[in-house]
Each structure stands twice: as C-alpha cells, then as structure tokens.
Structure 1
Amino acid sequence: MYILHLALGGCLKAPPVPFGVTADTGGHIAYVLDAALHQARRSDVSHVEIVTRRFDDPRFDPVHAQQREHVAPGLAITRIATGQPLYLEKEALASDLPAFTQAFCDYLAALDPRPDVIHAHFADAAAVAIAAQRRFGIPFVYTPHALGIDKRAHHIQCDGLDARIDAERRAIKAAAAIIVSTREEATRQVGGYRVPVGDRVHCLPPGVTTQPRNPGVVTLADRLGDWFNEPDRPLVFAVARPVVKKNLAALVRAFSADAELHRNANLLILAGQHDLAGPEEQGILAELRHLAMDTRLHGRIALPSAHDGTDVAALYERAADRGVFVNPALHEPFGLTLIEAAAAGVPVVATCNGGPAEIVSTIGHGVLIDPRDPAAIASAIKGIIGDPVRHAVLSKAGKHGVAAYNWDRYAQDSVALYRSIAQPRLLVCDIDNTLTGCPVGARAFADWRSGSPLPFVVATGRDFATARAILSDWGLPQPDAYITDVGTRMMLADTSGNWRECRVFARTLDQDWDAESVERVLSSLALTPQPATTAGPHKISFFGTAEDAARIDAALVRAELPARVIFSHGRLIDVIAPHGGKAEAVAAYAGRYGWSLAHCVAAGDSGNDSDMLAACGHAIMVGNASEELAHLPSRPGLHRSATHHAGGVLEGLARLGLATVQTEAQIEPVAA
C-alpha cells in the first residue's frame, strides 16, 4: 500500500522538529511524523509520503526549500511549490490554496503508481484531497486535529472562523473516513457539524511522542538556577503555544494568587519560540511577562524564550521528581503532552474540556479542572505536589497506563481502515448504452438487482420522464433515486412512493450560477440549440462538435462566468451550473446516508459519465465505452470491462465480488 499524508501548515521536516517555531508547528506535526514513521515500518506498506508546502523563507531552516527530504526507510517528505515562496500562517493559506491544489494535482498526474489513499490533516488539506479525489478517484481520510466549532463554543474570536467551519463541514461530508483521537471528539465535536457520517468516524488514539534526550547536552533543566532562587523545589511545568485557547495566563494567575503554592514550588512555561511569535502570540507573551513581574513571583517563575525537544524531555524528567504538568486550555482537542507526561511519570492537572478528560480517565495519572477557575487550578496542583504518596501513585499510573496509547497499534488499525474505506455501498449507472443496448444483459442485470441489497441509482443525461420510460421499455429495475439532466436534477421517492425533486440539491446548484448571463454570452456563437424540452433551470443544451464545446468553454472563461461544459455521445453539448454534474449529484445523494464518493461504484460509457467515473471509489467502463472516456487514467478502482452494455456492468460487479461471473450465454460478447 502507498500512503500519502497531506499537511499544509507549519514547518514540517524530518526530526528533530523545532516545535513552537511558528504558531502552526505544534502537536499535529508530531502526529503526522509519528503516524507515517510507524506505518512505513509495516510489511504491508510499500512506502509512505508526507506532502506539504514548499517555501524558501530566511526565517526558517533551508530544508523547507528542498523538494524532497528522506526521513526514514520507506518514508519521505515531498514539498510542493506555488507562486508564493514565503512561509504562510494558517490564516493566510486560503489565498494560496487554489495554486497549491493545482500543483498537487499536477504532481499526482505524473505519478505511477498513484497513492492508494490520501490522509488529509486539517480542513485545508482536505479541500485539496477533495479535488484530487474528483480527478483521480483516490479516496481520502480526514483528521481534523482541532475544529473551529469549538473555538466558537468557547467564545474564542479569530479571523475567518465562519469560512473555517464551512471548510470543516465540507471535509466531514466528503471524507471516506474520519480518524479522531477520542470518543468525545467523535461524538460531540464532529457531531456538532450535524453532517450524516454513518459509520465513517473512527477513534484511533495516537501513541506517545518520544522526545529526544541526550545526557551530554546542557538543557533548560540544567539551568533552572538562572531563574529560580531555589531550583530544587517541585516544578510546575507547562508547554503550549501562546494563544488564547491555551489559557496560559490563567495558570500564572492561579500560581501567583496562591501564597502556599508559590512559596513551595516553581513555575516554568514553554510558550513557543518568542523571537518568531506572530501578532496574537506576541500579545499573549506580553501578558505572561506582565504577570510574571508580580513581586510575589520573583525567583519563582521562568518563561524561557526558546527550547527544543531535548529541553522538553529533560523538563519532563525534572518534573517527575515531585512536580506536575499542567494543561489549562479552554479546550483541548486531544492533548499529546498529557501522554508524554504520563510516559515520563509526571502527574498532570488538565482541563476538563475535550480530549484530556478521556486521557486522564484512561491513564489515571492526574486530575481534571475547570480552566476558568484559577483557585481550582492551584488547589489541584497543591493536592499533588504536597502529597508525596499521591504523587508516587499518579506517577506509577502514568508509566503503566500510557501503554493504551501506542503508535504501532495506531499504524495497524489505520492501515486496516485505509484498506476498508472503499467498500461499495452504492451503485450508480448511466442508462443509454450502459444498461441498455443488449436485451440479454438487461435481463441479467434485472435478475441481479432483484437479489442484491446494494442501493442502486441511475445517473443519466435524460429528463426524468424519459428515463423512467426507457427503464420500463427495457425491463430494467426501478432505482432508489434518479439523477437526471446530466447531474442537474435529483428525484427522490417519498414514503408513499411518489417522486419529488430534491430541493436541497437544487439550491446547491443555484450557487454561482447565472443562467441569463451564460445564455447572453453563448447567443453570439451561432450554436444549434437542442429542443427546449431538454433545458432546465441549471442546464442549457446544444448540438455540436468537440470543437464547439471548446469554443463555449473559452467564451465563458473570457466572460468570467462559472459553468461546466460537457460533451458526450459525439454530438451533445450541455452547459450546466458549476456545482452540477453526475459526480456532484452522486456525492450529494451518498452524503444523505453518511457515505462518500469512495463508497460508490459508477458505471458508464460516454463523456457525461466522465466525472463520476473519475471520482467514485470504483468505476466500471463498459466494453462499448466511447473514445470520450479514453483520457481516464488507469487506477486500481477503475475496471474496463470486455463485455458490452449491462453485461459489462455485471462483469465489473463480479470483479468487486458483488455479482457472480456470468456465462457467455448470459451476457453480450465483445463486438467484432
């Protein structure tokens, strides 16, 4: 198996990583690297690739300008360049996303073989993966890491929050599977988007990220006397990015307000790399420095301006001696630092909001607090560092319980999930020359359908009434839904068996579609219109050649009018809404049941089937398919049948184990 991880934000490089060098160089970087490293060690994985942005920024390691970096056997980092050479913070990535998407798809187009799966980290990477799936049929898995909906729930304001939440909702809808780290993340956080997910959400806890520790190197733990009057006192330790949601100021306030606590302990906070902090981080750092000026904290608090992985490992080791690790975040999606602390034998005091509640419950190495209650934070810290017996019990629990978080187990379960995500849940077939054309094949398909539980939808260029009539004339079964008019209309049956148009899909097609302006631009091209009965609110149709279709497309591009131009059957041209088409309609129908395109099998023969054949996890090109589909690249999920018409559909289904192999008497042979 060839696995591709896609992560755009932060400074992603081979270890050691300078965590905190930017606001986005944090826990998800460790997650991606450790997941990929352990997957690459498996015998059933051929190789693993991490793809990220390429940038050449004098503020950062020049390795980020390298196109490819070897990490370990079977694992490399590939960097994709765009027209923007500088590093971009997460909020600025949106403007560069179209260029990155195009460059990434160009990169995939040149690969042979292509990845079996893309694992997208954060919604920006998922947006790129969605485009890649539409073009190449590569299924993708999504890991959110942190969700904007939680920022809103905790009244944390930031630019672009609405757009971020919309992007996360699209990622949840489109992903073949969603990997999260805790059950709370699966139910409350992902569930908060109110998107049907079916059984696509999987809780796979990550492992502990082992920090490097070189005994011969002088670390911050060896220099505690630089800050503390009495460096041997118990250490209250925290490490987090200096942003609002990490709530570090509350920890300082709790420490300074409790006289007993700051008499008997020292506080050290690693809050990123100060000299590279962005505007929000500089504001938080200024607040921390101001609070640290409290005379009561003289010789009791340290805010080192820089650190590396060796420092972190040494400080965990130091805190294990009578100290405690604190995570006071307003909300924490997971909390990798809490399992790092557990592995080092450090008891923890952690926020009750998010992943830490599950981690602490699983490991049993600390207590939970309300992060908005400074008195509760101080009390919890004192309850551990002031009780040697309790400290020893919690330390032992951490070292023992951290076994629940294991990267080898994660690698095993994630690879198994990758293999299972394309299990077919839905069959979508064109009608003309795919299901029709051979009476014997049509009867065999009807027989198969009568005994198969697989949901079945037709997707046709025909209108609804004509599509129903053709199915009836050919003795073909009625589907569970109709996608008609080249993917610009969806018809659903209500509980009484009456057919109605899906208004939700129709409203989707209204977006960015200006039919009047499109008609006005095309009126100057001397085109031959199809009969008025073929038109629809999201579809304008003509007769013509492939060259005519190209002229239409060029005219719309010049006019900056979004639309899709589809040429099929050697003479039909359909100009449809930009969010229309068979693939988009299939995705919308599948999404009603919590499925993605990766779970769909598409069968077709002509150009208006091209998008769904490219995007669905499994595709069947019947033996009589036209040259209009010759451009579709070979891939593991695409089957080119030798048999024509409905027999070719059955041949493809048999390849998937969904039908029995037909005999030559049952299906139409290949035409001479």
Structure 2
Amino acid sequence: MNGEPLYIVLISVHGLIRGHDLELGRDADTGGQTLYVVELARALARDKRVGRVDLITRRIVDPRVSSDYAEPEEDIGDGARIVRISAGPDEYLPKEQLWEYLNCLVDGALDHIQATGLAPALVHSHYADAGYVGVRLAHHLGVPLVFTGHSLGRVKRQRLLAKGESATTIEEKYNLSRRIRTEEETLAASALIVTSTQHEIEEQYGLYDWADEARMRVIAPGVNLARFSPPSDQSPPPIANELNRFLRTPDKPFVLALSRPDERKNLGTLVRAYGENAALRDQANLVIVAGNRDDIRDMDPGSRQVLTELLLLIDRYDLYGQCAYPRHHDADDVPDLYRYVTQTGGVFINPALTEPFGLTLIEAAACGAPIIATEDGGPQDIIKACANGELINPLDADEIGERLLALLKDKARWQTYSRNGINGVRQHYAWSNHVNAYLEAIEPLLNESPLPAPTMQARPELILVDRMLLVELSALGQNPDDPDLRELMAELRQRRRQVAFGIASDRPRHEVLGQLKRLKLPPPDVLVTRGGTQIHYGARLSRDRGWSQHISQNWQPDRIFNLLEETPGIRLGPRSVQGIFAIHALIDDHEAFIGQTALETRFFESDIGARIQRINPAELLITPQRASKGFALRYLAHQWNIPLDHILVAGGVLTDEDMLRGHTLGAVVVPDGKIHLPGLIDLERVMFSKDTYAAGIRQAMRHYDFFGACTLPEPQATDAATNQSPERDIHG
C-alpha cells in the first residue's frame, strides 16, 4: 500500500442506512449491522492510506420512511459516502423479499463504480444478500472480495427448528435455503472473511462446507469514542424525563437492557429475573429500551409477540413504578442512556440467548457502565479483554437476578468494572485499532488485476453504437426461411451504425457458426460462446484476449478433468473437443451422479475455483468463476460503453438467467421459457413473449421501443396476464 490511496467499496443492502440518527431497532433489519458499516466507512476514510470509501446500499423511496433514504448520495465525511442504488420496487422491503432484485443492484453498482473513474482495491460485503452482490461485482471488476456475515442462515435455521417451527414454515417465511446457498457461494469466493470473535468462527462458520478458517481473521468492531464516553457531570440527560414518568423512585440505580424487540434478545427472561427477586426490585429500577414504536399492533409479528410478552410479564409481576419501557428514543439518547446507568451506579445487561459480538456492550463500557452479559458468543472476548463485567447463563433467571443484585451491592467491584471498561475499550476497541488490523489483513490481497483495457479488434462501428441486441442462439429457431428472421436481420442491417448484434451460446464456436450457416446468417458483430468463456468479433472472429486474461484466474483444467473422471455418473469427451476455459461433462447415469451441490463441494474441498452450470438435465458446463454469459455481457457493455438498459437480451434456456436479470431489457422467446426460468416471471424488465423465436424478438423490440426510446413501457400500459404492453403486442 505504498502507491495511490485505496478506493474501497462496502456493500450493505438491507435496513435503513444513513449517516446520522440511525434508526437502530426500528425493525429486524435495522440493527447493529447498519451502525457497523457506517462507522467502518468513516473510520477507513479517516486513514491516510485510504482515498475514498463508498458504502453502497439500496435506495428507498417510501412515504413510510424518511426521505433521507431516497437521496442517491450522502457525504458522511473524510471521503466516505453512502451511495444508494435503485433495485426493484421503490418501497422499503424486508431482506427476505429482496433476492429477486439484487441483480439490479449489481448493475447499478457497476455503473456507479465505472462513473467514478477509479479502480476499487476490493469489495467488502456485509450479510448474505450483499454477499450475492459482492461476488458478482468482484468477479466482474477483477478485485478481491471480503465478506462479513454478521449472522448466518444455518445458525438461524437451527434456532428456529429448536423452537419447534417446521422446516416448511421456516422456508416459506425466511427463504433460508437460498440464503444459505448464497452464503456458501460467498465464502468460497472470498479472499478474506472478517469476523468479530473466535466464537463466530467455531460456532457459526464451522457449520458451512465452504468456510476456510485459513482465510478468516478476527477483527473486533470499534466504538466511536467521540460519542461514547463517561459522564462529565451528574446532571440527568434529556431522556431522563421520559424514563422518570414510569418510575416511583427514579434515583435508584438502573439495570438497562437495550436491543431490538427480538426473541433472541431474551428480554422476557430478564423481566422474570427482576420480577422474581424482591431484593433486586428494592435495590434498582429496570429499564428496557426495545426499539421505537407507535402502536404494537402495527409492528411485524416477531416484534409484536416480544413486546406483548413483556407487557404481560410486567403486569404479572406488578412492576409498575419499577420498570420503564419507553416507546421512543433518538440516536443521541443512546450514549446518554449508558451514561445515566453510570451516574446512577447501575448495570448494563445483555441477556441474549446468543450474541455474535455485542456492540452495545463496548458502547456501554466506554461510558463507564459495568456489564453483565450472556456467556454465549462475543461477550466472552469482550469481558476477557476488558475485565469489566461478568458472564451469565441466559436461560437461568434466578442466576441473572442474583448476579445483578450482588454487583449492585458491591461498590468496590462496581468501581473496578467501570474503570476497567473505560480503559479496556480504548485499548482494544478503538476504531483506529480496527482499521490498522483491517488494512494489514487486506494488504496481501491487493495484487489482483483490474478489468482489462478494451480490445480494438472489433469492427470500428462498435465504438459508435449505443445499444445492442444479444440473442441466445436457440432463440433464433431452426427455420432458415422464417420471414420474421429475414425481417429482423434486414432491420438490423439498416441500423448497423446504431445497433450491435450479438449471439450468445453455451456451445462451441464451430457449432454456433454451423447453425448460423444453416440459418443463412452472417457472423454477428459479437459472438459469445462456450457459456461466456470466449468472445469474438466480426467476420474475422477476432478473439478478445483481454476477456480471456480476465477469466483465467485460478483456472485449473487438469485438476478439474481429474476430479470429474473420478465422479460417478459422469462421462467426459476427449480433451480435444473441450474449450480452453470450458469443460463439458455428460451425466450418463443419473442414479450414480452425486448431484451438482455435492460436486461443487468437492471442487471447494479440492481448492478448485470454478463455476458449474447446468445446460440441461444431462449436461454440465464447468467454467472459470468469472465466466458466464451474464458476466460476458457486462464486460462487453463496459468495454464498448453501452448502457445495460440499452441492451436487449432474447433467450430462454437455463443458463440465460444472469443475462436476463438486472438492468438489461429481457425477453423470453424460447418455447417452455416459463418452465426453464420461472423465477423471472414477475420481473418488470423481463417480458415473456406470446410469439416465439424471431417473431418474439421483434415483439420485444416493439415492447421496449428498442430502436427509439429503448425503455420500459409505462406501468399502466402493462398487461399483467402476459407481462407485456398491449399496445405493442402487434406484428409489423
């Protein structure tokens, strides 16, 4: 890192993210992760080795939330900014509903990064949905991927099953199989996995097949010491008025819990611990700050259930006058709450069933509050480092009550924990420490090559075109005398200075050229073959060597051949018919074949980086990780400066999905396209044509006004039954 200052791209998709007044606890998606990524962006940008940090998230235009989340960019200081990309519907959506729109976020992020004119040093994804985005960005840009999971799907599924929920209900509600598969893919693609504690590595990532501990690094989060500091005097903070209206004796010490109203936070057990211990009730008040709410009935079912249980328990133990549970607090109230605990001689408690790290614990400690915390997870590391509190069994209400009471009565021990916490956080959890460890960890990764410079072997007119029609070979049909095919080619010839014409296929170049000859078609401007591993241009079929160089990273064909030859149920053709960057394999015994997922696991266990694509039920295509038809399309768009929303993709076979998702204009024109690609049916940028082959392509051109505005039809003009615009559903 002795050259130019680094440009770092952080990705965090869900939740409400802004640079001020973070709405922590508003819902299950707006928790500690949103604070972590904002503080990380700021801390990295403050370091002189870093020139710019962009935190990319989803843009939200929704009257139910602040207009701040609709701003395309927000400067958060020192060269850091939040960049918001439109992806899917405008409104705020929970993370489980975002999967179908993540390709749009990928394309929007690529557009933004390319517009900066800077080459990112790396992409760092936070959580599984951002992992999906980060894998694709990193592969396209040719830079390392760093991943922080924050919480993991397999752990969540275990907990939900342990609670008695059925596997079917869990899948319908949380879409965990997709999340877990994405986490595996992200772990396999990551050059570095940043965790907060060793416990995460052992107890959470250890559940994953593709988790490699050698690529993991424990770097504890930091705390903003400018915000979180000990009280400077004994005057009560503004939030005191809100708390005191609940309490008969407000000058007692506070036992404070602050978290989202989430069942895992175990707030009910804390109320039982307090309610069943008369001496503790006499000694201290209980304060529970569980997010913000107007009406519990309007909250999501999980939060509603937790808060309802709390109110019932407060009523059961008759804690009125002894327990405060405010409905609202601001971000600025949080450090004041911790300081108020210190001023009253109280204790901060985190009774969660499990806590991956415990950011609130170091915040409270920085303000001088002793802590009592769950023994499961990150608090072990915090208390070991700072010696500022004690661990408890989160399931033992009696123990929790007795330990709280003992600490509140032992003033000498209270003072020691308070002092140790203030000093320990500054020594172990300052953001400057985190940044130093972070930059040290990424330094060995910064030798990747960026996306290659454009090749100039294509026809010169490609420099002038402003749109492209890219057709999957099978979408042209089999009839050389198809009048719609003849008319389509005539239209393209007339506009060849405006429109580039491309063919994409999973088949080898010679097979594609043979089919084009049978259809009486000349070579296209762009030819993408063997599943996106080769790009050729024009009649001379000039190969794009830059693309070949880009996808060649970690390609190990000999090892792949050897592994496939040992795999039951698979038959390989001779190497002479295989591609340089593509290996075809036939499944000739489906009963003996171990399955695609198990085969991918074998690749990972053998440290082979490759992408396995299912061309059809009987055929696999193995390519480099950076290669697919969708990756090749985006490379072409970048190299020839063609906006993705000016590229019409027509296809409908299994491997077309990553071409059709995202900012491109998509058309499924192959018979049985709905069977091959059912996940695309409800996307506004993909139409399923009534006509097939060339007629369907021409219908799509009219649908999107391809030679004119090249855009989506007005929403009110869309026929929901056919996913297409009625006024354009004509032949001509």
Report if the CA contact (8 A) 1:137-1:614 is conserved: no
Paired residues of 2:228 and 2:364 also in contact (CA < 8 A): no
1:70 pairs with 65, 71, 75, which one? Answer: 75
Q: CA deviation at 1:21?
A: 2.5
Deviation of 1:161 after TM superposition, in Å, equals 2.7
In structure 1, the partner of 2:207 is 192
> CA 1:162–1:247 in 2, change beyond 3 Å: closer, same or farther?
farther
Q: Map Cα deviations across residues 31-84 of structure 1 (whole Å, 9 max, x no partner).
A: 111111111111111111111100111122211111011110211111001231
Q: In the alignment, is residue 351 of structure 1 matched against residue 374 of structure 2?
A: yes
| Contact map agreement 2:354 2:374 (CA 8 A) in 1 | yes
How far off its partner does 1:568 sit?
A: 5.5
CA RMSD of aligned residues (A): 3.8
Aligned pair count?
495
Which digits, 9 at most, give the CA deviation of each residue in 1:508-538, with x for residues without a partner? xxxxxxxxxx9998882679xxxxxxxxxx9
What is the deviation of 1:281?
0.9
Q: Give the corresponding residue for 2:222.
A: 207
Any idea what SS the aligned residue of 2:91 has? coil
In structure 1, distance between residues paired with 2:440 and 2:201: 19
The structural deviation recorded for 1:116 is 1.5
Counterpart position of 1:401? 424
Contact 2:58 2:84 in 1 (8 A): yes
Query: Equivalents in 1 of 2:609, 2:88: separation in Å?
Result: 32
1:389-417 deviations in whole A, cap 9, x for unaligned? 21112111211211211210111221232
Q: State the alpha-carbon separation in 2 of the partners of residues 385 and 311 from structure 1.
A: 23
Do the aligned residues in 2 keep the contact of 1:57 with 1:87 (CA within 8 Å)? yes
The structure-2 alpha-carbon separation of the partners of 1:567 and 1:144, relative to structure 1 and needing over 3 Å to count, comes to closer
* CA distances 1:437-463 after superposition (whole Å, capped 9, x unpaired): xxxxxxxxxxxxxxxxxxxxxxxxxxx
Q: 2:197 aligns with which of 182, 195, 216?
A: 182
1:360 aligns with 2:360: no
Q: Distance in 1 between matches of 2:327 and 2:316?
A: 19
Equivalent residue, structure 2, for 1:13 = 18
Give the partner amino acid of 1:342.
Answer: A
Counterpart contact for 2:533–2:623, Cα < 8 Å:
no
Letter aligned with residue 232 of structure 1: D
Q: Contact 2:242 / 2:326 at 8 angstroms: preserved in 1?
A: no
Q: Which amino acid aligns with 2:176?
A: L
Q: Aligned residue for 1:131?
A: 136
Is residue 418 of structure 1 aligned with residue 442 of structure 2?
A: yes
Q: Normalised by the size of structure 1, how large is the TM-score? A: 0.67
2:490 paired with 1:524? no
From the superposition, tell whether residues 539 and 119 of structure 1 become closer, same or farther in structure 2 (CA, over 3 Å).
Answer: closer
Tell me which amino acid in the other structure corresponds to 1:280.
G
Q: Which residue number in structure 2 is paired with residue 252 of structure 1?
A: 271
1:108 and 2:113 aligned = yes
Give the secondary-structure state (helix, strand or coil) at the position aligned to 2:143: coil
- The equivalent of 1:290 in structure 2 is 312
Change in 2 beyond 3 A, CA 1:612/1:384: closer
The code of the aligned residue for 1:25 comes to T
Do residues 46 (structure 1) and 61 (structure 2) align? no
Q: Which residue of 2 aligns with 1:160?
A: 175
Query: 1:438-491 CA distances to partner (integer Å, 9 max, x unpaired)?
Result: xxxxxxxxxxxxxxxxxxxxxxxxxxxxxxxxxxxxxxxxxxxxxxxxxxxxxx
Compute the displacement of 1:108 (Å).
Answer: 3.2
Relative to structure 1, the CA distance from residue 417 to residue 566 in structure 2 (aligned partners, 3 Å threshold; closer, same or farther) is: closer
- In structure 2, the residue corresponding to 1:79 is in which secondary structure? strand
Query: Matched residue of 2:214: which SS?
Result: coil
Q: Where in structure 2 are there 5+ consecutive unaligned residues?
A: 1-5, 450-471, 482-504, 522-528, 544-550, 561-599, 611-620, 629-634, 641-732
1:265 aligned onto 2:284: yes
- 1:255 is matched by which residue type in structure 2? Y
Equivalent in 25, 31, 34 of residue 30 of structure 2: 25
Q: Distance in 1 between the 2:63 and 2:361 partners?
A: 33
Equivalent residue, structure 2, for 1:235: 254
Q: How does 1:634-653 map to 2 (within 5 A)?
A: none
From 358, 370, 375, give the equivalent of 2:393.
Answer: 370
| Counterparts of 1:551 and 1:583, CA distance in 2 | 36
Structure 2 residue matching 1:397: 3-state secondary structure: helix
Question: What are the equivalent positions in structure 2 for 1:330-349 lying under 5 Å apart?
Answer: 330-349=353-372
What's the counterpart of residue 486 of structure 2?
none
SS of residue matched to 2:390:
strand
1:327 aligns with 2:356: no
Q: Secondary structure at the match of 2:478?
A: helix
Q: Secondary structure at the match of 1:378?
A: helix
TM-score normalised over the length of structure 2: 0.61
Question: Structure 1 pair 300/80, CA: closer, same or farther in 2 (3 Å)?
Answer: same
Query: 1:592 aligned to 2:605?
Result: yes
**CA contact 1:122–1:145 (8 Å) conserved in 2:** yes
Higher relative contact order (CA 8 A, sep 6+): 1
Secondary structure at the residue paired with 2:361?
helix
Contact in 2 for aligned 1:52/1:79 (Cα 8 Å):
yes
Aligned with 2:100: secondary structure?
helix
How many angstroms apart in 2 are the aligned matches of 1:612 and 1:97?
19
**C-alpha contact 1:350 1:356 (8 A) present in aligned 2:** yes
Q: How does 1:597-612 map to 2 (within 5 A)?
A: none
Q: Is the 8 A contact 1:199 1:594 kept in 2?
A: no
- Structure 1's 67 and 551: CA in aligned 2 closer, same or farther, altered over 3 A? farther
The 1:217–1:101 alpha-carbon spacing in structure 2 relative to 1, beyond 3 Å, is: farther
8 Å Cα contact 1:126/1:142 also seen in 2: yes
- Once the two structures are superposed, residues 121-155 of structure 1 have per-residue CA deviations (whole angstroms, 9 ceiling, x without a partner) of 10110100111122221221001111223223433
**Deviation, structure 1 residue 253:** 1.2
CA 1:372–1:525 in 2, change beyond 3 Å: closer, same or farther?
farther
| Structure 2 SS opposite 1:309 | coil
Provide the C-alpha distance between the structure 1 equivalents of 2:530 and 2:115, rounded to a whole number of angstroms: 27
> For residue 680 of structure 2, what is the aligned residue in structure 1?
none
What's the offset of the Cα at 1:383?
Answer: 1.6
When residues 279 and 609 of structure 1 are mapped into structure 2, their CA distance, relative to the original with a 3 A threshold, is closer
State the distance in 1 between where 2:118 and 2:516 align.
32
Alpha-carbon distance in structure 2 between the residues aligned to 1:595 and 1:339: 40
TM-fit CA distance, 1:27: 1.0
Change (3 A) 1:337 1:225: same
Q: Distance in 1 between matches of 2:474 and 2:81?
A: 51
- Deviation of the 1:225 alpha carbon: 2.3
| Letter of the structure 1 residue corresponding to residue 478 of structure 2 | S
Alpha-carbon spacing, 1:523–1:13, altered in 2? closer, same or farther (3 Å):
closer
Deviation at 1:261, TM superposition (A): 1.3
Query: Partners in 2 of 1:609 and 1:147 — Cα distance?
Result: 28
SS of 2:98's partner is: helix
Are 1:316 and 2:338 matched, yes or no? yes
What is the DSSP-based 3-state SS (H/G/I as helix, E as strand, rest coil) of the residue aligned with 2:349?
A: strand
Q: Does 1:388 align with 2:417?
A: no
Q: How far did 1:566 drift?
A: 5.2
Task: Report Cα offsets for 1:198-253 as digits up to 9, x if no partner.
Answer: 52101111112344799999622244320111011110000011111111111111
> Retained in 1: the 8 A contact 2:609–2:625?
no
Displacement of 1:365 in angstroms is 1.0
- Percent of aligned pairs with the same amino acid: 31
Partner of 2:326: 304
- Note the residue ranges of structure 1 that are not aligned, 5 or more in a row: 426-517, 528-537, 555-561, 574-580, 598-607, 616-628, 635-672
**Equivalent-residue separation in structure 2 for 1:341 and 1:519 (angstroms):** 62
In structure 2, the CA distance between the partners of 1:39 and 1:572, relative to structure 1 (3 Å rule), is closer
CA 1:235–1:164 in 2, change beyond 3 Å: closer, same or farther?
Answer: same
Q: CA distance change for structure 1 residues 233 and 593 in 2, over 3 Å: closer, same or farther? A: farther
Is 146-155 or 83-92 further displaced after alignment? 146-155
